[in-house]
Amino acid sequence: MLCPPLLKSFELCILDSYFEFRSIKYGEGQNRVPCPIWNEEQGCKGSAMELTVEKPESIMKLYDENSGLWRFVRVDKGPSKSLETIEKALSRLGLSKNEVRVYIYIARTGEHKASEISESLELHRTETYRILRDLEKRGLILSVFEKPLKFIATSFERAIEILIETKKMKISLLEKRKDSLVDLWRELPKPEAEQERKEVFQVLEGEEQISLKADEILNCAQREVMVFTSEQDIANFYHSSLLDKLEKISRKNIDVQLLTNYSPKSCFFIEKLKLKKAKYSLSDVDGLPTFLLIDNEQLLLLIRKNNEKKRIAALWTNYDAFVKALKALFLELWKRDV
């Protein structure tokens, strides 16, 4: 017999768990809520049974056509990281969050009616139909000739190919329209007052954006380029073709100077380069961030968080005092030849 004071809370716990679609069972397990029993002589003592409450996100709701009932299935948490990576990749390729959910659900569980997908993913039926229509237009799902209508997913490999090709086509179209767009921009009436030069800065995040900015400022170089790269970044520069870029502009009578920490890794990449001016700095400058100086006018400074291996951000600026300070530091280090 349950303790009278705990009877009401016990009932509420069950109701709450039911309406939250949580899996409830009695027996061995984790996350248990002990339910004491009433002992007339000793009062509340012991634990006759324990209540296990699963978190909602660990339960998947599937429809069983044979029995006509919904089944609650425990989700295997093992591949969760893999699924998270796949979801992020699909989002970057242009799918919305719910489009990703619907595609993955159909791809992993087989053919379903729209009502089943809506119920299982807890999406509004109107939104579900819209998502299914959009996914079908993209070629990511197919409709089955049955009544009621069901949907199956294109293979994941093919779906990725379709999304990548779609991205490429959009980029190709934009590249073709680039010149016409620039011409239209130039035809717009210009403001009467000329804009004065401002000292500005820009914070960039992500490998792609940083590489694009580095490539942009190197293309603007006319007189000199000074690069200090850490041991961690020189390999990234090599694989992103930035070192090849330095070689090319050095052939255009532009003075290119490359400085890096002394280490076996740095020596390996420096030896692959055909730069006349490439040196190693002394070991007492370990920890100095990577930076690029262009024509004493532009600076790109790579920023790391707690010495992590991955670059997380970069600062670009034309702030004169900052540019001159980094150039003075570079020239001082350049004098120290190993």
Q: Give the model's pLDDT for residue 32.
A: 43
Please check whether the domain covering 201-334 is classified as CATH 3.40.190.10.
no
Q: Give the model's pLDDT for residue 336.
A: 72
Q: With b meaning 16 or more CB within 10 Å and e meaning fewer, what string describes 159-190?
A: bbeebeeeeeeeeeeeeeeeeeeeeeeeeeee
Q: Give the model's pLDDT for residue 246.
A: 84
Burial class (CB in 10 A: 0-12, 13-18, 19+), 288: middle
Q: Give the model's pLDDT for residue 61.
A: 62
Class of domain 58-159: mainly alpha
Q: Give the model's pLDDT for residue 155.
A: 92
pLDDT along the chain (338 residues), means of 10: 45 43 39 43 44 52 67 62 89 92 93 91 92 92 88 92 91 87 86 74 85 89 90 78 83 85 77 68 66 93 69 85 92 75
| Matching fold, domains 58-159 and 201-334 | no
Q: Domain residue spans in the chain?
A: 4-54, 58-159, 201-334
Q: Which residues contact 309 (CB under 8 A, 6 or more apart)?
A: 232
Structure tokens at 169: 């086509």
Distances in Å between the Cα of 186 and the Cα atoms of 182, 191, 193, 244 are 6, 12, 16, 33
Q: Give the model's pLDDT for residue 283.
A: 44
Q: What span, in angstroms and rounded, lies between the C-alpha atoms of 32 and 148?
A: 43
DSSP 284: G
Note the pTM of the prediction, 2 decimals. Answer: 0.54
Phi/psi region, residue 199 (left: phi>0; alpha: psi -120 to 50; beta: rest), is: beta
Q: Give the model's pLDDT for residue 320.
A: 92
DSSP characters for 79-124? THHHHHHHHHHHHHTT--HHHHHHHHHHHHH--EEHHHHHHHHT--
Q: Give the model's pLDDT for residue 267.
A: 77
- Report CA dihedral (75, 24, 57, 149) to the nearest 10 degrees: 70
